[in-house]
């Protein structure tokens, strides 16, 4: 049976909050990506676009799947050798990035460029998620958050074609 979208949406938001990520945190990343290109861009506009991205089923599915795997890795519930790979955020794994691309994919080529850039720079909440402090595992979440931000930035760019450019 196909799940009701409101159920997916509410669970995705709840999980993000439980894992320490708010819409405002993601909006800060959007502002970081787009402020050079969109004059007078406000954090409120960025939050609005983050919320719009979170309404997409593809995005909700990626959030649920990625966070579930992070939580299972924290509990030691994955099969080996996947358990060690996800827990240690092994550099050659790459599936975390592939899952995040299913989010960016919805928004076309500007989304890909923004995602690649923010993944390299890791500002704000991304630095926090990548610090590997304590017992928390955010192997999937960091890429998901970066992809949601990149997608929201692409939405903004599409809405402001005269003022916006692809982030290089
Ligand atoms: Ca990752």
Distance 93 CA to ligand 1 centre (A): 9
Q: Domains in the chain: how many in total? A: 1
* 166 belongs to a structural domain: no
* 54 belongs to a structural domain: yes
Higher pLDDT, 113 or 158: 113
Distance 140 CA to ligand 1 centre (A): 5
Distance 137 CA to ligand 1 centre (A): 10
Task: Give the pLDDT band of residue 162 (cuts 50, 70, 90).
Answer: low
* 165 belongs to a structural domain: no
Higher pLDDT, 107 or 28: 28
pTM of this prediction?
0.93
Give per-residue pLDDT as tens, 57-80.
999 999 999 999 999 999 999 999
Helix axes 43-53, 141-159, angle to 10 degrees: 110
- Provide CB contacts within 8 A for 115, sequence distance 6+: 100, 101, 104, 146, 147, 150
Task: Give the pLDDT band of residue 157 (cuts 50, 70, 90).
Answer: confident
CB atoms under 10 Å from CB of 109, counted, come to 10
**Domain of 56, in residue numbers:** 5-159
Distance 166 CA to ligand 1 centre (A): 23
Q: What is the CATH number of the domain that holds 40?
A: 1.10.3760.10
* 41 belongs to a structural domain: yes
Average pLDDT of the residues in 5-15? 96
* 168 belongs to a structural domain: no
Distance 1 CA to ligand 1 centre (A): 31
């Amino acid at each position: 049976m196909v799940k009701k979208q409101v159920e997916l949406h509410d669970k995705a938001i709840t999980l993000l909050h439980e894992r320490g990520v708010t819409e405002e945190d993601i909006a800060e990343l959007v502002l970081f990506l787009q402020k050079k290109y969109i004059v007078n861009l406000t954090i409120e506009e960025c939050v609005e676009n983050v919320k719009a991205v979170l309404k997409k089923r593809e995005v909700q599915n990626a959030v649920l799947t990625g966070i579930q795997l992070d939580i299972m890795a924290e509990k030691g519930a994955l099969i080996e050798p996947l358990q060690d790979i996800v827990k240690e955020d092994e550099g050659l794994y790459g599936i975390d990035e592939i899952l995040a691309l299913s989010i960016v994919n919805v928004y076309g080529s500007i989304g890909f460029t923004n995602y690649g850039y923010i993944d390299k720079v890791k500002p704000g909440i991304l630095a926090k998620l990548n610090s590997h402090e304590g017992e928390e595992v955010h192997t999937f979440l960091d890429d998901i958050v970066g992809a949601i931000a990149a997608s929201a930035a692409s939405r903004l760019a599409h809405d402001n074609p005269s003022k916006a450019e692809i982030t290089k």
